[in-house]
Every structure is written in C-alpha cells, then in structure tokens.
C-alpha cells in the first residue's frame, strides 16, 4: 500500500526526538511495582503496551506524573513530512501518515462504538526517550504509553523488523506496526486496557487477548485505510494489494511470541509465558479485522478461544 502522493499528512501530533514538552495527560495504565535488581530502590513504573514481548525493565525508571520534560534541542515537528509522497519515501513521514489516516478513521468508528475519541500523539526517537511511563530505550521496541497517550517508535526498528525479525520489508509491514500501537490507544480510550490482568500470561490470557485485539484493530484500519481522507477530502491511501496483505502478515508473524522465542532468540518456545500471542494467532486476528472491518469483530475477550 502506498500513500496518495497528493494527500496532505501535515500534523502537529507527530514529533521526533525526546519527550520535550510532553506532559502526561492522565488516562489508563495501572501501575505495577517491580523490585529493582541488586538491592536498588523499588521502582514504580507505568505499564506500556509494546508491539512484542519486550522486557519492561528496559524502561529505565522514572515515570508516572513525575516525568521531566526533556529539554532537548533535538525534538520537534517533522517539517519534512507534508504529503503522501513524503510518507512513501521517508519512514518518519510514514509513521505520521498512518497516524493521520487512523485519526480520520477512528474519529468516525470510535463514537459509533461508544468511545469518546481523542487523537493520540506520536514520537519517533533514537536510542532513548523520556515518556509519561518512564525513560525507555529502543530495546523495548515500538510501544504505547497510556499515561501520555503517545505512540513511541524508535527509528531503527523498521530495519530490525526485516533484518532481525524476518518481516518482508514491504511498506505495509511498517504500517501494521503503527496501526497496532494505535489500536492500544483505542483500548485505552475504551477502558479495556485497564480491565486486563497484566500479570497473567499464556496463549489464552487477558494480556494476549489485549494484544490480539490491537492486531485486529490494525486490520480494521487496513480495511478502511484506502477510504480515509485528509482535511481537504483527498483520499490518503491507495487500495491495498495482495502483496500489502502479505507484508502485514509477515510482520504479524515476525512479532509472534513463538517466532521470537524460537527462531529469533534461539531459545525454547514456552507458550505459558506468552504475552502477545503466536505468529498464527496474530495473523488470524489481523485478518479478522481486515476482513470484517468492524470494532465488534475484534471482541477477543468474548471469544471462547483466541
């Protein structure tokens, strides 16, 4: 899938660099207490919602409402990103473009589903970033922080998605990643996120169902993406091709827990530890969302088995 070169993707909601000037705006996100290693102080962090099973201790601490606004000169609006053409050639602009397209869609779907819709923020960072959920490194992978309602994508991840995790490198593989994190924002607004027991793991756990629902919401966006419009009414994306769907499925497979535990990390596949679902589960729920195109189709919590 590519952006319509003439579409306008300008936005003040997507920025680069650290979290300069970001103030947490409240919202969901239960707190969990984790004992720091080696007799360190008890750290209190706010849960983040990642694309794949990262180590929450990759969050370096801080967090909650005590986040310091980074005084970075590096951050700021993505001035190079104004049209769909830019989104087709620059991955930072791609992130901004997907967020803008998803804003357009969920501003309609959200209220229809009883969700009071608000646009999320997005930040593209290098190496490390300050967030409303604490400081995070790029090791954690793309994530959503409910405390500041912001999607975080580190700018080296799309390369890793292909070279380390084995996605096919298509544009739509990257778009799926952004749309998944956007799905967590919808779950935050709907209140679903705060109802889940985040300690539970395993293929049928609440945490996995939450992740699979975010995959399904990414599919819902894919279903509607080519009809989303910019502020001038111009269509933002071109119709999906079969190859686009293959790219999305390759990404969903690449970030499956079984694939990461086995093929990527070279370890044992341990289903009881899963937090995001297998490659097959993730592909299935993306496709459910894509084929049905409705929020209702993504009721992973109501399904007997996911």
Q: Applying CB under 5 A, which residues contact Zn ion?
A: 49, 211, 214
CB of 214 to Zn ion, least distance (A): 5
Nearer to Zn ion, 4 or 300 (CB): 300
First to last CA, the chain: 28
CB of 154 to Zn ion, least distance (A): 15
3-class secondary structure, 297: helix
Nearer to Zn ion, 211 or 230 (CB): 211
Nearer to Zn ion, 214 or 287 (CB): 214
CB of 162 to Zn ion, least distance (A): 19
Secondary element (H or E) of residue 136: strand 134-137
CB of 255 to Zn ion, least distance (A): 9
Nearer to Zn ion, 103 or 211 (CB): 211
CB of 50 to Zn ion, least distance (A): 5
Cβ 132 vs Cβ 68: under 8 Å:
no
What backbone torsions phi and psi does residue 125 show, to the nearest 5 degrees? -125, 165
Nearer to Zn ion, 7 or 99 (CB): 99
* CA–CA dist 162, 156 (Å, integer): 11
CB of 264 to Zn ion, least distance (A): 17
CB of 143 to Zn ion, least distance (A): 7
Nearer to Zn ion, 20 or 120 (CB): 120
From 135, 139, 121, select the one nearest 16 (Cα to Cα). Answer: 121
CB of 196 to Zn ion, least distance (A): 12
Nearer to Zn ion, 48 or 81 (CB): 48
* CA–CA dist 250, 256 (Å, integer): 10
Q: If you search the block for the tokens 């497979």, which residue do you land on?
A: 253
Cβ burial 87-110 (10 Å sphere, 16+ → b, else e): bbeebbbbbbbbbbbbbbbbeebb
Nearer to Zn ion, 7 or 151 (CB): 151
From 258, 305, 260, 269, select the one nearest 285 (Cα to Cα). Answer: 305
From 231, 211, 226, 150, select the one nearest 185 (Cα to Cα). Answer: 150
* CA–CA dist 1, 68 (Å, integer): 38
Greatest extent of the chain over all pairs of C-alpha atoms, in Å: 57
């Amino acid at each position: 899938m590519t952006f319509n070169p003439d579409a306008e993707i300008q936005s003040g909601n997507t920025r680069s660099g650290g979290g300069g000037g970001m103030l947490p705006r409240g919202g969901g996100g239960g707190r969990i207490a984790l004992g720091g290693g080696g007799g360190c102080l008890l750290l209190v962090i706010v849960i983040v919602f990642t694309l794949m099973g990262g180590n929450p201790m990759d969050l370096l601490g801080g967090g909650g409402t005590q986040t310091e606004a980074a005084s970075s000169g590096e951050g700021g609006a993505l001035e190079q990103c104004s049209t769909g053409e830019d989104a087709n050639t620059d991955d930072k602009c791609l992130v901004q473009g997907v967020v803008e397209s998803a804003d357009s869609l969920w501003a309609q779907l959200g209220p229809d589903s009883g969700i009071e819709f608000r646009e999320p923020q997005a930040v593209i960072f290098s190496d490390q970033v300050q967030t409303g959920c604490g400081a995070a490194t790029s090791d954690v992978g793309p994530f959503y922080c409910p405390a500041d309602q912001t999607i975080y994508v580190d700018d080296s991840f799309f390369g890793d998605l292909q070279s380390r995790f084995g996605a096919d490198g298509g544009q739509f593989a990257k778009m799926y990643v952004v749309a998944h994190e956007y799905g967590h924002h919808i779950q935050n607004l709907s209140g679903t996120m705060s109802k889940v027991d985040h300690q539970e793991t395993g293929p049928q756990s609440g945490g996995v169902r939450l992740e699979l629902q975010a995959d399904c919401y990414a599919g819902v966006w894919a279903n509607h993406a080519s009809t989303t419009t910019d502020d001038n009414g111009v269509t933002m994306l071109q119709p999906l091709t079969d190859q686009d769907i293959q790219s999305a499925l390759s990404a969903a497979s690449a970030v499956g827990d079984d694939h990461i535990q086995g093929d990527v990390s070279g370890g044992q596949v341990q289903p009881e530890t899963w937090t995001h679902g297998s490659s097959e589960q993730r592909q299935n729920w993306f496709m459910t969302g894509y084929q049905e195109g409705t929020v209702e189709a993504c009721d992973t919590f109501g399904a007997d088995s996911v």
